[in-house]
Chain A
Amino acid sequence: MSDHVLDAKGLNCPLPILKAKKALKSVPSGEILTIYATDPGSVADFAAFCNQTGNELVESSQDGDVYIFKIKHTAA
């Protein structure tokens, strides 16, 4: 199901958020966007992003230096 992927590794604030916002536009409602990032600030920022935009943060995890976020596109 999750073939919407955004590689935001190496990018710094606010680029992962800006790119995620853009990427979500092509994710149909109810489907999941997976984001890979290396910016430690993105952990708090993606939680805030989902809170503010009404999208659902299904998963926020870490694999080594890479942070993985799964966002369900639920906003109108």
Chain B
Amino acid sequence: MSDETVADIKRQSLSIIVTKGSLDWAYPPFILATTAAALDYDVTLFFTFYGLALVKKKLDLKFTVLGNAAMEMPMFGTHIAMPNIMAMIPGVDAMAGSMMKKLIKEKGVASIEDLREAAVLSDVRMIACQMTVDLFEYKREDLMDEIELGGAATYFEVASKSHINMFI
């Protein structure tokens, strides 16, 4: 018994409630979901509120300085923190966003498009919260074909059977 691997014992499972849809916050759920799928977990992502931006057919993710008060960027061989008041200045978010995209490319970090594609290919189950879809007036055809619609009860049915449940 003791030298059985986890894989022999029982298939593991992961669920994540995804509530954030900015470029940076898109990473944790998709990295964890695709990695867990590669480890043979059954994975379910439940997208609600701003997380719905991640399941639109056409991704157009933005970066916001305001939401990341402690952010600092590697610059000029050091790390530069941005005074929070600068986040209010038009163009600052766009500038920080393109810096982030440049870093992502330079460091060989996957794009969100690629990670989302990998999630689809590895059978990650994706559920969009019906209530917030209605609230923000998204149309079914705005969302990926692979997405299911469901509510809190659907989530709990998944969560109660999952080994790991997260909220991001």
Residues of A within 8 A of B (CB): 10-15, 17-18, 20-21, 39, 49, 51-54, 75-76
B122 partner residues in chain A, CB cutoff 8 A: 18, 21
Query: How near does chain A come to B84, taking the closest CB pair, in angstroms?
Result: 29
Query: How near does chain B come to A10, taking the closest CB pair, in angstroms?
Result: 5
Question: Known contacts A14-B35, A18-B35; is A52 also within 8 Å of B108 by CB?
Answer: no
Nearest neighbor of A16 in chain B, beta-carbon distance: B108
9 A-B pairs with least C-beta separation = A21-B38, A54-B7, A54-B5, A52-B39, A14-B35, A12-B108, A10-B108, A12-B109, A11-B108
Residues of B within 8 A of A (CB): 5-8, 12, 31, 34-35, 38-40, 107-110, 118, 122
With A12-B108, A18-B122 known, 16 other A-B pairs at CB within 8 A are A12-B107, A12-B109, A12-B110, A14-B38, A15-B110, A17-B38, A18-B34, A18-B35, A21-B38, A21-B122, A49-B38, A51-B5, A52-B5, A52-B40, A53-B5, A75-B7
In whole angstroms, what is the CA distance A6 to B108 when docked? Answer: 16
Nearest neighbor of A74 in chain B, beta-carbon distance: B5
20 A-B residue pairings within 8 Å (CB atoms): A12-B108, A12-B109, A14-B31, A14-B110, A15-B110, A17-B38, A18-B35, A18-B118, A20-B38, A21-B122, A39-B108, A49-B39, A51-B6, A52-B5, A52-B7, A52-B39, A53-B7, A54-B5, A54-B7, A75-B40
Nearest neighbor of B118 in chain A, beta-carbon distance: A18
B34 partner residues in chain A, CB cutoff 8 A: 14, 18
In whole angstroms, what is the CA distance A24 to B16 when docked? Answer: 27
